């Protein structure tokens, strides 16, 4: 999708239109900071976790409920500092994985880093220093895997894709999700890295990127679903598009049983 700069309402409308136009799915994945674009001024757009009347988190929960599916996407959030001075906060690039909720209230359920509960999240670990992200955001330090309808999803964001040790499959996930705002000038690297992560981790990779432009870069898309053998199905370049595919978990298990790469990786990892 093309992301309207710092305009959550417009981006919610675009995402909802694309999601409802797609084939019915168990999981919908949106690009990095899908609701505002990747900004180096998070204080302008980031709600606190208590507020997340970030209509945006409530919107993710509503879509999950209405579509009876999980919805994943990252956004900037403000987190209170764990120690004084009181009232100050740090900012995180947070990838939410939101499952349908049985709650009838308008507020999203409590957030958890683990894969349990309706709202799980991962905070981006490798911040993009080249683009100034390290000056405005605090990195996360937790490796987060979420289980949904019998499938184990590992969460990552954009620049994380370049760090294979951080994304190493310890035989504890089936699908790697990487949401991104990956510039068009580095499209070749994006394509190669998606394939490499799928092959070395014997997993499916869902690489979800944006199109359009923001004040810093231009984006051509390249959203792709890569199978464990490294073969990709991709969106058309520079086009708003919903890519849908069924993941063959039986085929994945048979491949891992026959060719046990994950069981033979170096023990020091």
Domain boundaries, the chain: 8-261
Q: What are phi and psi of 17, to 5 degrees?
A: -60, -45
Mean pLDDT, rounded, for 59-86: 88
Estimate to the nearest angstrom the gap between the alpha carbon of 158 and the chain centroid. Answer: 8
Q: Is the confidence at residue 210, as pLDDT, over 70?
A: yes
**Alpha-carbon distance 31 to 210, whole Å?**
6
What interhelical angle do 55-67 and 8-21 show, nearest 10? 10
Q: Is the confidence at residue 190, as pLDDT, over 60?
A: yes
pLDDT at 106: 44
**Alpha-carbon distance 168 to 217, whole Å?**
29
**Alpha-carbon distance 60 to 101, whole Å?**
11
pTM of the predicted model as reported, rounded to 2 decimal places: 0.92
Q: What are phi and psi of 23, to 5 degrees?
A: -60, 140
Fold designation for 8-261: Nitrilase/N-carbamoyl-D-aminoacid amidohydrolase (3.60.110)
Mean pLDDT lowest among 1-5, 13-17, 70-74, 86-90:
86-90
Would you give the DSSP letter of residue 18? Answer: H
**Alpha-carbon distance 170 to 133, whole Å?**
28
Q: Is the confidence at residue 269, as pLDDT, over 60?
A: no
Q: Is the confidence at residue 75, as pLDDT, over 60?
A: yes
Q: Which of 60, 27, 16, 63 is nearest to 247 (CA)?
A: 27
Mean pLDDT, rounded, for 70-99: 86
**Alpha-carbon distance 15 to 98, whole Å?**
15
Q: In what order do the strands lie in the sheet with 151-157?
A: 145-148, 151-157, 175-179, 204-208, 224-226, 232-234
pLDDT at 175: 98
Active site positions, annotated: 32, 124, 158
Q: Is the confidence at residue 268, as pLDDT, over 70?
A: no
Q: What are phi and psi of 73, to 5 degrees?
A: -175, 150
pLDDT at 62: 95
Mean pLDDT, rounded, for 178-207: 98
Grade residue 48 by pLDDT with cuts at 50, 70 and 90.
Answer: low
Mean pLDDT lowest among 10-14, 101-105, 106-110, 176-180:
106-110
**Alpha-carbon distance 228 to 169, whole Å?**
12
**Alpha-carbon distance 166 to 142, whole Å?**
10
Estimate to the nearest angstrom the gap between the alpha carbon of 72 and the chain centroid. Answer: 6
pLDDT at 79: 87
């Amino acid at each position: 999708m093309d992301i309207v700069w710092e305009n959550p309402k417009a981006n919610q409308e675009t995402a909802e239109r694309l999601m409802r136009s797609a084939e019915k799915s168990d999981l919908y994945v949106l690009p990095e900071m899908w609701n505002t674009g990747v900004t180096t001024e998070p204080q302008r757009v980031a709600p606190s976790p208590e507020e997340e009347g970030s209509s945006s988190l409530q919107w993710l929960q509503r879509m999950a409920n209405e579509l009876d599916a999980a919805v994943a996407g990252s956004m900037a959030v403000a987190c209170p500092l764990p120690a004084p001075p009181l009232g100050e906060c740090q900012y995180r690039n947070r990838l939410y994985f939101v499952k349908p909720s049985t709650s009838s209230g308008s507020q999203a359920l409590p957030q958890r880093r683990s894969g349990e509960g309706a709202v799980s999240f991962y905070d981006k670990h490798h911040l993009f220093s080249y683009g100034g992200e390290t000056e405005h955001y605090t990195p996360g330090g937790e490796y987060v895997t979420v289980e949904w309808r019998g499938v184990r999803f590992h969460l990552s964001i954009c620049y994380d894709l370049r760090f294979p040790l951080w994304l190493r499959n310890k035989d504890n996930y089936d699908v790697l999700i990487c949401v991104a705002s990956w510039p068009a000038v580095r499209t070749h690297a994006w394509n190669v890295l998606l394939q490499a992560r799928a092959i070395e981790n014997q997993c499916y990779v869902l690489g979800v990127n944006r199109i359009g432009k923001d004040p810093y870069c231009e984006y051509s898309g390249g959203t792709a679903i890569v199978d464990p053998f490294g073969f990709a199905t991709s969106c058309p370049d520079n086009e708003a598009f919903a890519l849908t595919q069924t993941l063959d978990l039986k085929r994945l298990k048979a491949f891992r049983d026959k060719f046990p790469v994950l069981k033979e990786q170096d023990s020091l990892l």
